Chain A
């Protein structure tokens, strides 16, 4: 669309409807999206926190179990005077054996010598044992206990399982029956903690790890990768936020981190979930929403186009009708359906067009009537003048007793009039027209006593072609009165009828009369010309009649030269042949 061109109603409506609908759709989508995303985020946070709490609870049950076993061992350790060492060890062994997660349970004195043991495996030296972390960290008063992180067990020679150690300083009854300080150890399978941690699935790659109160990793599912520098853990922020939930970005990924404290063990549990995984549901939702949104927009545009087309179609239709009326075609029925306003407008227009058509028809009718009157008047003009002269000649011949001449004259006159009347028709055949002019010439020949000769020739098959009547006679009359009459020698009038392309019929009238000068020739066909002696009135009448009837393409062609003659061509269109009027032979 060019800039100057005003936009169509359809375009404006389409854009308006589409703009409003799409804006509303987008607004609703945006609101829904933000609502949904915050809900998802909330749910993800809640469920992640729940999982971490569950892991913590499981760990809690587990450590409580261990503490219970430790309590039982503590009680037994005080009963050494009642129960034999073997009996105590058997009781403890039965507990340890019943649990797959406990590797062994031992009691040491404070120098690291073994007092009680659930296993017969050869032990390391007391010195080696007493320097280990779990030993030193649990010392410091009765009841003091410690959970280690995963480490390689170093109690027995030639055995290196990964364990988590619970150690506690307790009192026991020694051989002398007095209470003495000792150190209780329970080694647990490393798998227990690793399984606890690995049971927690936070998203698809989220995980749970444990740190101690110094922020050092106690257990991490990716420990081996961390050892190899292939994986980094964000320990700093875990240490910064002691407890609670936070989100941060670490190594380019947004993480939801949940930190909780572990009872008994002075550990903290850290759950890490990745935002992009938690929000995966949102992505799916976004995809679906985008598709739906796309469909909505497309449907909106289609609907907008349909509605605007529905509204604008009658207007366009009306416009088209008005254009056709403007071009002059009043025939189309100017009614348009559609909405009420346009229908009303269309109806008013239809009434208007109908009225215009009526008025135009009236004009045509009145014009036609006017023309008819004119034609009649022109045809009527010929007769009285001629009749007078002819009858005068007849009288004269009768006085001379020229009976034969009178008969000939009257016969010709009768024929002349018969064709003139021709049952009131305006159109006759060329044959009849020529017959008419022949009779006229016969009369005139008698009147002018052989002052001229005439010939009439016609091409084959033109007899029945139609023509308006009485068009040759005035030309011939003119030739006689203004040309031949003044001649000293014999006059000639030659009439020829032939066809001229395209589709015209020419009636040629040639005389060898005195002719006309150019001035006279020029005025003879003009309407305003007012001549002395009325010369050319008949000729002009013929010209006007032909043009009135057949249009301005047809009419008379005149040429004349002084002392040579006049040459007149009547040109009319060739129409289909008609039947001559049947007249009873007299």
Chain B
């Protein structure tokens, strides 16, 4: 044995001791880009993302345009995330085709892209986490049907938020499909409010005026639901099924204005999106699983599991 061998041995030993620590310190930078800045749904999603942050040590930054309809603003946000060399992007595209280019660019730059809630038409990201919007549509329609006898006609007004998102198109398609499967059921009109409360109110008022036979209204987003609720003030005999968990909606549910609320566990959505991004960055495959949702009625709203889902942002 020469002295060189001894020194080598020592170095190997030291290296063996020191490389253990390096793994724990890697904190990934992840951009979470939602459709808009406010909103219970997005708030809860961000809470989920924050919860994932505190359990992994990742660095999160949240970007969103002020309005959900501002997909240009969202494109700019993604571009900014690319320019700032984020490791991963969690994105809920507010347009299923306009964001394709920028997502491709991000992926070409080696940024992992996880799509949360909504997706893109022709471009696949590294991972996609969503809830089963087709099943939600079916459940909403079927719940509406329970209020009517077999021969009674069901005439529905559907108001979505954004026309060009996969969640809305899936929901509307599923509603249309389920309605077509029932005799005497038709969708009078399916339009979009662009997340504008006033627009939703006007759409509802105009629709009810032009077609008084409408007896079911589906509002597929919380701000839209608020507008619809305003329009339905003082009008009875119309069943109202809405998306969301805002305090106002809960009050409306208790007051019987809203018959049922569809609650998507967006906390779960946010948590799992960030976890999936970290998994991808670590070279692991994230678990493929749908995010849960629930249809909450006045009777079930205070049951233990619904309390936790419905009032999760008040905790």
Say if the beta carbon of A291 comes within 8 Å of chain B.
Answer: yes
Which of A254-262, A293-301, A449-457 interfaces with chain B? A293-301
Interface size class of B (residues with CB under 8 A): 35 or more
A160 adjacent to B247 (CB under 8 Å): yes
B315 adjacent to A223 (CB under 8 Å): yes
Q: A241 to chain B: closest CB distance in Å?
A: 25
A162 adjacent to B315 (CB under 8 Å): yes
Q: Indicate the member of B20, B305, B307, B309 with the most A CB atoms within 10 Å.
A: B307
Binary interface encoding of chain A residues 289-315 relative to chain B, with 1 for a CB under 8 A from any of its CBs, else 0: 011001100100110000000000000
Cβ-Cβ contact count across A and B, 8 Å cutoff? 74
A289 closest partner in B (C-beta): B17
Say if the beta carbon of A23 comes within 8 Å of chain B.
Answer: no
B17 adjacent to A160 (CB under 8 Å): no
Q: A211 to chain B: closest CB distance in Å?
A: 15
Cα distance A290–B10 in the bound complex, in angstroms: 10
Give B271-315 interface residues, CB cut-off 8 Å to A: 271-272, 292, 302, 304-305, 307-309, 311-312, 314-315
Q: A472 to chain B: closest CB distance in Å?
A: 68
Say if the beta carbon of B268 comes within 8 Å of chain A.
Answer: yes
Cα distance A366–B302 in the bound complex, in angstroms: 131
Q: A11 to chain B: closest CB distance in Å?
A: 10
Given contacts A295-B10, A298-B10, contact A154 B302 (CB under 8 A): yes
Say if the beta carbon of B267 comes within 8 Å of chain A.
Answer: yes
The residue that A228 contacts in the complex, of B247, B292, B315, with Cβ under 8 A, is B292
Say if the beta carbon of B9 comes within 8 Å of chain A.
Answer: yes
Say if the beta carbon of A152 comes within 8 Å of chain B.
Answer: yes
Cα distance A283–B20 in the bound complex, in angstroms: 10
Given contacts A290-B17, A298-B6, contact A224 B314 (CB under 8 A): no
B271 closest partner in A (C-beta): A230
Say if the beta carbon of A161 comes within 8 Å of chain B.
Answer: yes
Cα distance A302–B13 in the bound complex, in angstroms: 17
B1 adjacent to A205 (CB under 8 Å): no
Cα distance A151–B6 in the bound complex, in angstroms: 66
B267 adjacent to A224 (CB under 8 Å): yes
The residue that A152 contacts in the complex, of B6, B10, B302, with Cβ under 8 A, is B302
Cα distance A290–B14 in the bound complex, in angstroms: 8
Say if the beta carbon of B189 comes within 8 Å of chain A.
Answer: no
A160 adjacent to B6 (CB under 8 Å): no
Say if the beta carbon of A227 comes within 8 Å of chain B.
Answer: yes
Complex contacts, A209 vs chain B, CB 8 Å: none
Binary interface encoding of chain B residues 1-15 relative to chain A, with 1 for a CB under 8 A from any of its CBs, else 0: 101001001100110
Say if the beta carbon of A344 comes within 8 Å of chain B.
Answer: no
A231 closest partner in B (C-beta): B55
B55 closest partner in A (C-beta): A205
Say if the beta carbon of A190 comes within 8 Å of chain B.
Answer: yes
Q: B233 to chain A: closest CB distance in Å?
A: 16
Say if the beta carbon of A157 comes within 8 Å of chain B.
Answer: yes
A225 adjacent to B271 (CB under 8 Å): yes
A290 adjacent to B13 (CB under 8 Å): yes
Q: How many A residues touch B, CB cutoff 8 Å?
A: 28
Complex contacts, B18 vs chain A, CB 8 Å: 287
A228 closest partner in B (C-beta): B268
Say if the beta carbon of A158 comes within 8 Å of chain B.
Answer: yes
A223 adjacent to B13 (CB under 8 Å): no
Cα distance A227–B309 in the bound complex, in angstroms: 8
B20 adjacent to A287 (CB under 8 Å): yes
Complex contacts, A150 vs chain B, CB 8 Å: 315
Complex contacts, B292 vs chain A, CB 8 Å: 228-229
B271 adjacent to A190 (CB under 8 Å): no
Given contacts A152-B302, A160-B247, contact A228 B314 (CB under 8 A): no
The residue that A294 contacts in the complex, of B3, B14, B272, B307, with Cβ under 8 A, is B14
Complex contacts, A227 vs chain B, CB 8 Å: 265, 267, 305, 308-309, 312
Q: Indicate the member of A150, A158, A229 with the most B CB atoms within 10 Å.
A: A158
B265 adjacent to A160 (CB under 8 Å): no
B314 adjacent to A162 (CB under 8 Å): yes
A190 adjacent to B315 (CB under 8 Å): yes
Binary interface encoding of chain A residues 222-256 relative to chain B, with 1 for a CB under 8 A from any of its CBs, else 0: 11110111100000000000000000000000000
Cα distance A535–B70 in the bound complex, in angstroms: 140
Cα distance A227–B268 in the bound complex, in angstroms: 9
Say if the beta carbon of B254 comes within 8 Å of chain A.
Answer: yes
Say if the beta carbon of B250 comes within 8 Å of chain A.
Answer: yes
Cα distance A229–B271 in the bound complex, in angstroms: 11
Cα distance A160–B18 in the bound complex, in angstroms: 52
Q: Indicate the member of A222, A290, A294, A301 with the most B CB atoms within 10 Å.
A: A294
Complex contacts, A287 vs chain B, CB 8 Å: 17-18, 20
Cα distance A510–B312 in the bound complex, in angstroms: 137
Say if the beta carbon of B251 comes within 8 Å of chain A.
Answer: yes
| Smallest CB-CB A-B distances: 8 pairs | A228-B268, A294-B13, A287-B17, A227-B308, A158-B251, A152-B307, A152-B311, A298-B6
Other A-B contacts than A157-B251, A224-B312, A283-B20, 7 sampled, CB-CB below 8 A, are A150-B315, A158-B247, A158-B251, A160-B247, A294-B9, A294-B13, A301-B1
A-B contact pairs, 12 of them (CB 8 A): A151-B307, A157-B251, A157-B254, A158-B254, A161-B314, A162-B311, A223-B315, A224-B267, A224-B308, A228-B271, A291-B13, A291-B14
What residues of chain A have their CB less than 8 Å away from a CB belonging to chain B? 150-152, 154, 157-158, 160-162, 190, 205, 222-225, 227-230, 283, 287, 290-291, 294-295, 298, 301-302
What residues of chain B have their CB less than 8 Å away from a CB belonging to chain A? 1, 3, 6, 9-10, 13-14, 16-18, 20, 47-48, 51, 55, 247, 250-251, 254, 265, 267-268, 271-272, 292, 302, 304-305, 307-309, 311-312, 314-315
